[in-house]
């Protein structure tokens, strides 16, 4: 086996891309029946999205969380999976959908965002402090963010822990879990303020017969100097 060369994407990213490319045609009905967070995301967007604002949908998949926002709202979705991005584009032809890994800084030439949703994707986040920093850097001061981080209160160790994501679908790829203290530290290090934190069900993991729970954060990007 060859070691990945310098600059090569980590092997788990390639596996995640393939997995979600395969999943894309069946995603909406399949996932809708497993996730618990649709209403929570819809409520956040209802409270935060204003006319002509700019929304970033992180790990957007087929874009269904933000696809139905009013047409004057600018929606940008980022994802690893080209097939998911293609479906997102079909669903909202006026949206901007780009292949981008949330572990990397968002391109400096992009617009800055007023509202960010990072839900259903940070399962794969190997570095929460860096990822939240990139999202904060992509926002205007005063921006509002909704972030869902897997929190496994059965974990045997504090901080950042891992468990298998799916032996059937993604063998060898971890689900990344962060305890509340690690989440809070990442939020603060990114220059974000917590308006609220809740520990709530996120989705049903049928393979392991468990409910994956998130630390749900509503965040605000502080103005510089605060
Ligand atoms: C379960 S789907 C969730 C889609 C959507 N956020 C939702 O909740 O319906 C997870 C998505 O995250 C994407 N993803 C996983 N790791 C990513 C990464 N490092 N950067 C960008 N997208 C990623 C996957 O490709 C997939 O489309």
Show the domain range for 217. Answer: 32-53+104-221
Q: Domain count for the chain, please give it.
A: 1
pTM of the model: 0.95
pLDDT per position as a tens digit, 95-131: 999 999 999 999 999 999 999 999 999 999 999 999 9
- Look at residue 182 and tell me if it is in a domain: yes
Q: Is residue 78 part of a domain?
A: no
pLDDT digits (tens, 9 = 90+) for 19-43: 999 989 888 777 777 889 999 999 9
Say if 74 falls within a structural domain: no
Q: Whose CA is nearest to atom 20 of ligand 1?
A: 101
Give the separation between CA 224 and CA 226, rounded to whole angstroms. Answer: 6
Q: How far is CA 197 from CA 158, 180, 183, 202, 226, in A?
A: 18, 9, 10, 14, 21
**Residue 2 in this model has a pLDDT that exceeds 50:** no
Ligand 1 pocket (Cβ < 6 Å) reads 16, 20, 31, 59-61, 64-65, 78-81, 84, 101-103, 119-121, 124
Q: Is residue 166 part of a domain?
A: yes
Is residue 20 one of the residues assigned to a domain?
A: no
Tell me what percent of the residues of the chain surpass a pLDDT of 70. 95
Distance in angstroms (rounded) separating the CA atoms of residues 5 and 3: 6
Domain annotation covers residue 16 = no
Q: How far is the CA of 177 from the centre of ligand 1 (A)?
A: 16
Residue 222 has pLDDT above 90, yes or no: no
CATH number of the domain to which 146 belongs:
3.40.50.150
Q: Quick check: is 174 in a domain?
A: yes
Residue 122 lies in a domain: yes
């Amino acid at each position: 086996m060859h070691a990945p060369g310098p600059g090569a994407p980590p092997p788990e990213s390639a596996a995640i891309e393939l997995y979600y490319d395969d999943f894309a045609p069946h995603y909406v009905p399949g996932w809708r029946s497993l996730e618990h967070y649709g209403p929570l995301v819809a409520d956040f967007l209802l409270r935060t999205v204003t006319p002509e604002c700019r929304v970033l949908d992180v790990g957007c998949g087929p874009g269904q969380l933000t696809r139905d926002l009013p047409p004057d709202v600018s929606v940008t979705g980022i994802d690893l999976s080209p097939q998911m991005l293609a479906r997102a584009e079909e669903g909202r032809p006026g949206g901007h959908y780009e292949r981008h890994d949330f572990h990397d800084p968002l391109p400096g030439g992009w617009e800055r965002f007023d509202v960010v949703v990072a839900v259903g994707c940070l399962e794969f986040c190997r570095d929460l402090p860096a990822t939240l920093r990139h999202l904060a850097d992509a926002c205007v001061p005063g921006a509002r963010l909704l972030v869902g981080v897997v929190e496994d209160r059965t974990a045997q160790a504090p901080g950042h822990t891992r468990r298998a994501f799916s032996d059937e679908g993604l063998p060898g790829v971890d689900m990344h879990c962060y305890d509340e203290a690690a989440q809070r530290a990442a939020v603060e290090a990114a220059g974000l303020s917590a308006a609220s934190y809740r520990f709530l069900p996120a989705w049903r993991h049928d393979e392991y017969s468990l409910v994956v729970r998130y630390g749900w954060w509503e965040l605000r990007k502080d103005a510089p100097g605060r």
